[in-house]
Structure 1
Amino acid sequence: MKLLFVGAFALTASLSFAQVTEPTDSVKVTPIDSLAVEEVLADDVSLGETLIVGKGVIDLQDDRKTPIAATTIKKEALENKVGAADITQAFVNTPSVYVAGQSGGFGESRIVTRGFDQSNTAFLFNGQPINGMDNGSLYWSNWSGLSDIASAVQIQRGLGSSKLAISSVGGTYNFVTKATDKKQGGFFSAGIANDHYYKSTIAYNTGLINNKFGVSVMLTHWQGNGYNDATQGEGQNYFISLGYKPARKHTLNFILTGGPQWHDQNSSNKISDLLKYGRKYNRNWGMLNGEEYNVRRNYYHKPVANLNWDWDISSKTSLSTVLYASWGRGGGSSSITTGKDKNDATKPYGILGNTEPNGLLNLQQVYDRQSEQGGEALDRVVSSINNHQWFGMVSNLNHKINNNFSFNVGFDLRTYEGQHQRQANSFLGADYITETADKQNPSYQVDQTFSQSPWKALNKFAKSYEDRIGWYYKQRINYGGLFGQFEYSGDRFTAFVQGSVSEQSNQRIDYFNYTAGNEKSEKVTNFGYNIKGGASFRISENHQVFANAGYYSRQPYQNNIFMNYKNDVNPFAKNEEILGIEAGYKIKARNFWANLNAYYTTWENRITSTSQFVGPEGNDKYPGLYNQYVYTVNRGVKQVHTGVELEVNYKPIRTLTLTGFASLGNWEYKGNSLVTNYDEQQNIVGTPKTENFDGLKVGDSAQTQLGLGGTFEIIRGLSVDADYRYNGDLYGSRVNEENGNLKLPSYNIMDAGVTYNVSLTPKNKFTFRFNVNNVLNHIYIQEASTNLQATEGTQTYKGINVNNQIYFGYGRTWNASVRFTF
């Protein structure tokens, strides 16, 4: 039964009401990464009180007995560690996992796993892949509710155990919760944090009615000013789960969830500006009509729905199917200037040309000037819109042949259409702008503006050509995959082999760059496949070794197939070839366990991208560009990633748990790359050229990590915990032949917290939590988007050229919460 329960959880509400009594006769610790789902959720809910859905669709490592490199983070840690941050904050004490980007604003964090970014790491929600189909990206601002509804997250580094036709190069993140709760009850929670952050959540479930039907719901509201200047945000999370059991062998569960939000954004800044204006300086805002106004705001609403069906055909055979759909609406804003400085016609005037002495944008001056003049706006704020609809189906049949052999087979179908355009948010006192880039409608005036509300974005966006500016194109992607797994499991030896084949078609329809009848690109079809296998041997009851290997031929993403933001097919867009090999050793005793893993990954034909900001003063490398991002795309890159990882857990007494981790990596580029630069208007900047990347380091993640942690129960219900981590061998994300890598200073962080549980009755309980992150207020550089080296006479900060653009990490932050379960 244990293995049947392992794959049984789809991503649904996290409503926890069962009490668990701790054992008093002896102390026994089970390795986290060998926990089945019922063990992971033991502190939260009894399986007998939960409808089980999603068998065979969501893949945890216990779905097969051959181990992988995996870490499971329980619901308690999610609740305690996240606070006012993204759910990614709960992953910072995991080997080979680096969390960056928090300083960009609410929901801006990013995860890098074994040196691979999120577009090359698989994220699964309710058994469905949720990485963007056009570029593989994932935006945590769209998933802010995960920390409320997830009961556990299993991080599978490297090959992973997913049976889908996907290539988890960096790893696979499985978000796991229970479905509609059988027991009536709910909870209310409220939290506060630094910088006027507030959050409240209420959840309730009806319990199982007539032993067949149940409903679980959850609503959340949050808002805050943000850690850095002018990075306010606000959002809601909603969740509805409807469970129905029409017959003994059938279970249905329908889920609808979403997290509409808006947040103002920070950008990487020059170190010199941060030293001048303060570490929290944000160059994207100014005062307008007496209020703060940030020209860069992200707003989005992405409802997600899925229907799970589990059918226990027999004691040996089961079928699991999930139908899913998502509708994304919203975008991100920025400012544009078309006017020229009266004293220097090569430089822009207005928003992008000047700033106040305090470093803020001179928005009021721009507004007053344009309001007085009227007519066409030389300065305005516009949004780049990404609307999409995505439908899919995943189904898996599992059959147990006998006590030693089992197999499963299934399919993965997806269809996606994304609509990309620009629309106006504000003319800043003027009346309209003139659009001339549309070849089908060569010149027209745009006088309509659109709200940045995520709720209004669902339906109120530019739907006719006279309201669109800049560009308007669609991306269509169809994908079909078949996958299967065969496994042998003996007393001491296990082995498995997995494989998949897939076909993907991509097409682009451009209504701005092409005349009527010529909008459609050719349809590009690519075939992909992967195969992986492994074996393990249990030396004794407490010792086990394993090895896994896999090879992927992965289709390129849509954004890499078509070049220059046009229908031009990229001749370099070949399948990416990935080879992964890993081995491990596991030991567990009565009160101790440890996992040691080693890996080797090569990745060829890949395409990477970075960005840097050109300020109001411009620079020699990008003449004519001011106050906007330049995006650099590197094509044909090869990477080699090697490393070792260690996790340990020791419980010397019942009330004390000690943990530790370490990861040592060496991630490098090999060979040459074709480098192309683009501005924010999607134009090529300069001339593409070939550069030698051989031997340069892969940046944006610490290649050396060390960590220690502990939890101590002072008295029953009252506990304290602390975690320390060190990040070293960290390089900036930008790399080129001229300047190589920018190595950043290593840093260490300590987080701590206190938890107090008070049980009023067997059903009613209060939980209080107080958390402090970066207790010692360590000042550190978390990431850099440029690679300017220090030379003689250059002003430096901690050895770094102060003209580099960086993000400082957060200083000391705090959060507190109370939760009442009823």
Structure 2
Amino acid sequence: MKSNFGRRSLSIVLTLSTASIYFAQQKPIDTLKSNDIDEVVITKGVTDIAKDRKTPVAVSTIKAAQIVERLGNQELVEILNTTPSVYATKGGGGFGDSGITMRGFESKNIAVMVNGMPVNDMEGGSVYMSNWTGLADVTSTMQVQRGLGSSKLAIASVGGTLNFVTRAADMKQGGVVRLGIGNNDFLKTSFAYNTGKSENGWSSSFLMARQSGSTYIENTDYEAYTYFFALGFQPSKKHNLQFMITSSPQWHDQRSYAPTISNYIKYNPDKDGTPYRQYNSDFGYLTQPNGKRVGIANAMNYYAKPVLMLNWDWNISDKSTLSTVAYMSNGRGGGARNAGKVGGKGMQDFVDNEGHYNFDQIFAANAAVTPTVGVQGNTLVRTSSVNSHNWYGILMNFQHKINDNWNFSIGTDDRYYYGYHYQVLSDLYGASGYTDATNKNLPTNNLIRKTYDYKKLSWNPFGGANAPMEDRMVFSNDGEVLWYSGFGQVEYSTEKVSAFLQGSVSNQAYQRIDDFVKPGTLQQGQAVDRKTGFKNIFGYNIKGGANYNIDEQNNVFANIGYYSKQPFMSAVYPSNQQVLNPNLTNEKIFSAELGYGFRAHNFNAKVNLYRTEWKDRFFRKTGIKDIDGLGNNGYSEISGITQIHMGAEFEGNYKVNKYLEFNGMFSYGDYQYKGNAQGSNFLDDNTPVAINGSNQTTLYLDKVKVGGSGSNSIPQMTASLGATISPVTDLKIYGDWQYVGKIYSSLNVAEFDKQGKTALELPNFNLLNIGASYKIRLNDKSQFFTIGVNVNNLLDTTYIQDGSTNIKVKTVADFTDKTVGGVTTTAQQQFDTYINNPNNFYKGLDASNRVYFGFGRTWSTSLSFNF
């Protein structure tokens, strides 16, 4: 919570949760509409909402009206692409599979919060936006705090903090019905209603929504629901209780593997030499008895993650308040992929001339095999990797106002998390069973025949998270995490100056539980058991900042902070084993920032300079194809990484008159590695893979530009310019130009075992998005229709949004003389053949690079009725 940076403060109940907004003058009201936030939100509690010219952090705020008007059928985080140093993409293109980076840091190292509640996965820090698609319907405000942020919680927001503040139980009485349609059968309907606050202090709000269709990418069907209910009770001025439950259960077919550029071009139905951006290699066709072909997805996701929150705000006195939030988040679901081989062939060996899986051949090959106990993985099947969890927590914050200038707050953030991870069969693809040998507790290999339909698995958050042990395959391990922390903050504030000093301490305890490990099994020379026991890791942070209002128009601020951040579970127990990392160490983050702001009646501008150093980083890169050169897949683990992220940011707003307004931003970064690191490769079954004769090798990363992990790319320059025209009352026409440059593709650890390697830079691109909205007001001013339309990528620009590989255009040195059948081909001849073949290149890139192209032109339109 960002506390009182004004001379006098107002704590008001805002959304149904826990936020803190501070105003310079006290007003005797409970709710208020501000210029920063259009919806009523909670300003008492533990959510930290930064205030302009008060809070010394770099911040951008997105209003609910902007989300409603401009989101359309985009991913929610994509609306942040006009924010400095933020890059949001659609990831693989499936519903909810978006990715986001902030100041060059990926979502694992961005603190994502809902009403002040941390939602980053407690084992690995991941945030899957497919679990939070309903936030677009219930969010009142999105606030992006880049860098250290204003949260007092013991969370290491390396890149920044993204906070979603939801609807309020005590919003004004009324409701809204919405209908939206768009490209690729997009259909969304929703209904919401607020009762308003009754005379005896009760209030409630609810929303229900459904969305279905497919995305721009082939075979990416989906279906999603959202429900939201809030109940508020204010028995007196001293007490306010708010309860909320919300969830967005969904399933969606995916594109999880980035195709090569050459395959995008090869499998274009038009055969015109251009990339077929919709191409999806993660599905195929099966011919039915009636001769009709039906699509079958080989990659998909399903999940339901309901969140329950109970907030109690207690005004102990005029100077003291206590805010308490108890919450629960039990997630159920997972994702599906393939496993095994049939006749020595994997999925990649059954591809038709359209670039899709030939399920006719797969079914026939599986049907010809009789699975036996003695042969591991002798059929080719689809699995469902379950990733469920139970999560409980409590946040408490006590705040005391010493006098008009000084106040302090102390609190605690405590959590318990238990994650369930295992695989079951999802589809046998015509086989009669699958043989698995990974459960060492069984006397013989396990012949599995039962399948689980990913669209029908139980999403009951209060039900069991487990399938029977005899149905599990490949892996079955749990993660148990305990988190205890305390925090405190002291603040000083006058009309000119506001300053704070904050610190927190935390203990994070990890335990790994592997159901497939037989007691006494040797791993890395150590006897291990099913449970590792808890490993306690202490962490802390300290940060401070100050803002100085030079006059009514100009202000400057600075902040500085140091974090000792506990590593993720993959670093505590590396290589998916039960052995504790002997070189375990906390990650160290040091960050500093300077900012300047200018505010006038028609022009606002902000400029920020920042530098972040991140030391002793560990991360695991999964999903690496052919990691051993023998066709086997695996993962890499990297330790001892240091990154330096520096940059400058600008954002401004200029209101010419009531008819025309401009918004713009520019950000420039310099993100690079410092020093070298250590890397190891493993097969998916955890078998070490040698690099230059050794499993561990030095990675020469010094001064290499920072690229993403997985399939994410990281740009180091972004810009946007937008205009909003209001020619008549209630009509808005808007457009945004977006530029993305200095984009660096994902890095593969194995490629930096020699000096001189550099990161792959992808082509820059420009996009243009437009939209319009018009309100038709009825006689009753509180009742009106709103018509909206949005077109994204208006010019249908072809661009690469993300890269998964780092393959450079070859030189003569990459070839060696070779002799086949007595005929010798020199390195120069091979290079000449390579360089003179235009099919080997695309916009200066080697066409064997695996990438995700951005969506082409998409559109959506909506009609809503407010009453």
Q: TM-score, normalised by structure 2?
A: 0.87
| More displaced 10-residue stretch of structure 1: 730-739 or 557-566 | 730-739
Show the counterpart of 2:682. 678
Letter in 2 for 1:482: G
Contact 2:570 2:620 in 1 (8 A): no
Aligned-residue offset at 1:374: 5.5
Contact 1:158 1:170 in 2 (8 A): yes
- The correspondence of residues 376-525 of structure 1 with structure 2, limited to 5 A, is 378-443=379-444, 444-453=446-455, 456-458=458-460, 459=463, 462-515=466-519, 518-525=529-536
Cα gap change, 1:217 to 1:10, in 2 (>3 Å): same
Asked if 1:783 is matched to 2:783, the reply is no
> What is the CA deviation profile of residues 670-712 of structure 1, one whole-angstrom value per residue up to 9, with x for unaligned ones?
1111212334444443323221100000122210111111101
DSSP 3-state at the match of 1:453:
coil
| More displaced 10-residue stretch of structure 1: 521-530 or 660-669 | 521-530
- The correspondence of residues 175-574 of structure 1 with structure 2, limited to 5 A, is 175-266=164-255, 267-277=257-267, 278-288=276-286, 289=288, 290-340=293-343, 348-349=344-345, 351-371=347-367, 375=371, 378-443=379-444, 444-453=446-455, 456-458=458-460, 459=463, 462-515=466-519, 518-574=529-585
Asked if 1:740 is matched to 2:758, the reply is yes
Asked if 1:38 is matched to 2:33, the reply is yes
> What is the CA deviation profile of residues 17-46 of structure 1, one whole-angstrom value per residue up to 9, with x for unaligned ones?
xxxxxxxxxxxxxxxxxxx98325664x5x
Aligned-residue offset at 1:317: 1.3
Letter in 2 for 1:400: K
Cα gap change, 1:42 to 1:676, in 2 (>3 Å): closer
Query: Distance between the aligned counterparts of 1:385 and 1:332, measured in 2?
Result: 7
Query: Distance between the aligned counterparts of 1:454 and 1:734, measured in 2?
Result: 37
Asked if 1:74 is matched to 2:80, the reply is no
Contact 2:183 2:859 in 1 (8 A): yes
Aligned-residue offset at 1:211: 2.8
2:731 to 696, 710, 718: 718
Cα gap change, 1:246 to 1:8, in 2 (>3 Å): closer
Letter in 1 for 2:345: Y
DSSP 3-state at the match of 1:136:
coil
Aligned-residue offset at 1:609: 3.6
Identical pairs, percent: 38
Contact 2:636 2:680 in 1 (8 A): yes
Show the counterpart of 2:116. 127
Letter in 2 for 1:166: I
- The correspondence of residues 555-634 of structure 1 with structure 2, limited to 5 A, is 555-611=566-622, 613-614=624-625, 622-625=628-631, 628=633, 630-634=634-638
Aligned-residue offset at 1:466: 0.8
Cα gap change, 1:7 to 1:501, in 2 (>3 Å): farther
Show the counterpart of 1:800. 845
Query: Distance between the aligned counterparts of 1:499 and 1:167, measured in 2?
Result: 12
Aligned-residue offset at 1:435: 2.3
Aligned pair count reads 780
Alignment RMSD: 2.1
Letter in 2 for 1:450: Y
Contact 1:583 1:599 in 2 (8 A): yes
Query: Distance between the aligned counterparts of 1:255 and 1:685, measured in 2?
Result: 49
Aligned-residue offset at 1:56: 2.8
Query: Distance between the aligned counterparts of 1:727 and 1:672, measured in 2?
Result: 28
Contact 2:53 2:549 in 1 (8 A): no
Cα gap change, 1:684 to 1:756, in 2 (>3 Å): farther
Query: Distance between the aligned counterparts of 2:367 and 2:164, measured in 1?
Result: 50
Query: Distance between the aligned counterparts of 2:37 and 2:104, measured in 1?
Result: 33
Query: Distance between the aligned counterparts of 2:206 and 2:768, measured in 1?
Result: 36
Contact 1:41 1:151 in 2 (8 A): no
Query: Distance between the aligned counterparts of 2:424 and 2:447, measured in 1?
Result: 12
DSSP 3-state at the match of 2:235:
strand
Show the counterpart of 1:708. 721
Show the counterpart of 2:791. 772
Letter in 2 for 1:446: I
DSSP 3-state at the match of 1:273:
helix
> What is the CA deviation profile of residues 316-347 of structure 1, one whole-angstrom value per residue up to 9, with x for unaligned ones?
1111111011111111111123333xxxxxxx
Letter in 1 for 2:628: Y
Letter in 2 for 1:403: D
Contact 2:184 2:215 in 1 (8 A): yes
Query: Distance between the aligned counterparts of 2:35 and 2:175, measured in 1?
Result: 20
Query: Distance between the aligned counterparts of 1:253 and 1:401, measured in 2?
Result: 28
Asked if 1:812 is matched to 2:810, the reply is no
Cα gap change, 1:183 to 1:492, in 2 (>3 Å): closer
Aligned-residue offset at 1:540: 1.4
Query: Distance between the aligned counterparts of 1:502 and 1:7, measured in 2?
Result: 30
> What is the CA deviation profile of residues 254-279 of structure 1, one whole-angstrom value per residue up to 9, with x for unaligned ones?
11111111111112110000111122
DSSP 3-state at the match of 2:156:
coil
2:670 to 666, 682, 689: 666
Q: Structure 1: give runs of 5+ residues left out of the alignment.
A: 14-35, 341-347
Aligned-residue offset at 1:80: 2.1
Contact 2:91 2:802 in 1 (8 A): no
Aligned-residue offset at 1:545: 0.8
Show the counterpart of 2:699. 691
Query: Distance between the aligned counterparts of 1:42 and 1:53, measured in 2?
Result: 11
| More displaced 10-residue stretch of structure 1: 239-248 or 773-782 | 239-248
Cα gap change, 1:183 to 1:648, in 2 (>3 Å): closer
DSSP 3-state at the match of 2:48:
coil
Contact 2:200 2:235 in 1 (8 A): no
Show the counterpart of 1:729. 742
DSSP 3-state at the match of 1:702:
strand
Cα gap change, 1:231 to 1:82, in 2 (>3 Å): same
Contact 1:40 1:74 in 2 (8 A): no
Query: Distance between the aligned counterparts of 2:359 and 2:222, measured in 1?
Result: 21
Letter in 1 for 2:112: F
Query: Distance between the aligned counterparts of 1:705 and 1:191, measured in 2?
Result: 30
Contact 2:303 2:331 in 1 (8 A): yes
Show the counterpart of 1:29. none
Letter in 1 for 2:481: I
Aligned-residue offset at 1:372: 5.6
Contact 1:54 1:126 in 2 (8 A): no
DSSP 3-state at the match of 2:550:
strand
Contact 2:61 2:144 in 1 (8 A): yes
Q: TM-score, normalised by structure 1?
A: 0.91
Cα gap change, 1:330 to 1:223, in 2 (>3 Å): same
Query: Distance between the aligned counterparts of 2:465 and 2:545, measured in 1?
Result: 50
Contact 1:7 1:63 in 2 (8 A): no
Letter in 2 for 1:496: F
Contact 2:556 2:597 in 1 (8 A): yes
